[in-house]
Amino acid sequence: VASKEFIEIIPFGGGTTVLGGITPTKNPSLSVDMMHFKTIDLDEISHTANLGAGLRGPEIEEKLEKNGFTLGHFPQSFEFSTLGGWVATRSAGQASTKYGKIEDMVLGLRMVTPKGIIRVLPHPASSTGPGLKNLYIGSEGIFGIITSATLQVKSIPRVREYKGFFFKTFHEGIRAIRTFMQNGIAPAVVRLSDVEETAVSLALSQKKGITKEGLGSWVLQKSGFRCLLILGMEGSREEVAYESEVSRYVIKEFHGLGVGKSAGEAWKKERFRHPYLRDALLERGVMIDTLETVTSWNNLEELHRKTKEAIEKTIGKRGIRSIVMAHISHVYETGACLYFTFMAPQAKDKISQWEDVKSVATRTILESGGALSHHHGIGIDHALFFIAEHGKEGVEAVRRTKMLFDPSGILNPGKVLVKTRARKTKGN
Ligand SMILES: Cc1cc2nc3c(=O)[nH]c(=O)nc-3n(C[C@H](O)[C@H](O)[C@H](O)COP(=O)(O)OP(=O)(O)OC[C@H]3O[C@@H](n4cnc5c(N)ncnc54)[C@H](O)[C@@H]3O)c2cc1C
């Protein structure tokens, strides 16, 4: 019916997309809420779980934990985002350095398209031609609606140990992380804040009056330790002890200083809370947004510097001062994700102000060798830049695949590919 009437179909998971992934075009549209797809089928022998697309983070973890398992996927939007949304956008959880991104966990899936149902069987591995599974993962609802997926699950780690460390410079922190990652140590959470983000985090964590923690961080900052690293180690007692020992040794080599478990535990406790602050700031006239990318170690610091400068300069053109800060997280042997946050008073033309920053920052990231996205995806906001990363042929491959599954173009038009819309085809 939707194909005949040119009604656009927009899959809706938790609605937490930050790139306009569920925004309709001007045509009539139907939002398909996945909230009823909530089945959980755990295979304790194979360590897999078949999960309904509408399950939210806490629903999955609660059920798995009761049986001694975890998915290990904790995006900051964990409370509201869904399995289907994670798979559709190739999401990354905060513990991805150990557990992988969502695409590393998906073994099989089921997707409903206007042309029929697609199934990828959940084999542990296969060599049955090209890896079609990866064509569907990250398709952001433009090929079909994912109704369920089978994912690998892990036994709950015996020990979860989160600790804080300080470095004098971002550079030394990066060198330390690269060293332990390239020597076989991959903690679950690795998060290194630059000078600006560390200062803001410490200011936000201060309680009123003079406290031991407050004095401690003041002394650290005054002594030149200005970049905070959070390491979260998870596994058996022996694994965590080994990771802890090696990383401590490496951190010392790069002049880092351990501040114990309280900083790590405080981060863990607050890790899903920060977005609430963002809403409060927006309501009070502050422009605040985030951007993320990924690049190799040899390019990371330059990309960090150039992107920050470009954002500050663009905001500064309206005579407005800003805070631009970043951290690295989601770390690999070959490189890492850089995650930027910018804040400034909103200008009178607040939409153009944001558009200018977003456009300049995205261009700078691409020109400086960063990926268009590490985990937020494409949506509407990045669609114009999709060609810059994949070239004409890449865009054409995606467009033709879409036409195959969705000849009338009714599935989530305008996302990933620009200017797509529902259209008349033979047989409509
Ligand atoms: C505060 C905040 C923090 C965030 N932190 C992270 C983070 O740490 N890591 C991260 O990866 N992302 C993060 N995000 C981005 C967002 O949460 C992810 O992109 C998430 O995967 C979206 O899931 P969702 O269920 O909310 O999907 P939605 O927002 O509902 O949809 C996202 C896209 O996927 C499509 N879609 C949704 N469900 C399906 C389905 N079943 N089948 C086909 N297509 C579907 C939609 O049409 C849309 O294009 C954050 C967002 C916010 C607001």
Query: Could you read off the pLDDT of 41-70 as tens digits, one per residue?
Result: 999 999 999 999 999 999 999 999 999 999
Q: What is the pLDDT of residue 428?
A: 47
Q: Is 242 a catalytic residue?
A: no
Q: What's the start-to-end Cα distance of the chain, in Å?
A: 10
Q: What are the start-end ranges of the E strands in 236-285?
A: 257-260
pTM above 0.85, yes or no: yes
Q: pLDDT value at position 424? A: 65
**Cα 90 to middle of ligand 1, angstroms:** 9
The residue nearest atom 14 of ligand 1, judged by CA position, is: 77
Q: How many Å apart are CA 134 and CA 130, to the nearest integer? A: 9
Residue-level pLDDT at 421 = 72
Instruction: Please tell me the distance from the alpha carbon of residue 325 to that of residue 193, in angstroms, as a whole number.
Output: 8
Nearest to 77 by CA among 99, 92, 62: 92
Q: Which residues of the chain have pLDDT under 50?
A: 428
* Distance between CA atoms of residues 356 and 34, nearest Å: 34
**Residue 292, burial from CB neighbour count under 10 angstroms (0-12, 13-18, 19+):** buried
pLDDT at 88: 98
pLDDT of residue 328: 97
| Ligand 1 neighbours (beta carbon < 6 A) | 10-18, 21-22, 34, 53, 75-77, 81-82, 84-86, 88-89, 91-92, 140-141, 145-146, 275, 375-377, 412, 415
pLDDT value, residue 179? 97
**Which pair of structure tokens corresponds to residue 209?**
């009056």
**Is residue 254 within 8 Å of 173, Cβ to Cβ?**
yes
Question: In 101-236, which ranges are continuous DSSP H helix?
Answer: 102-105, 133-136, 170-181, 195-205, 212-222
The residues near 343 (Cβ < 8 Å, ≥ 6 apart) are 281, 286, 287, 288, 322, 323, 324
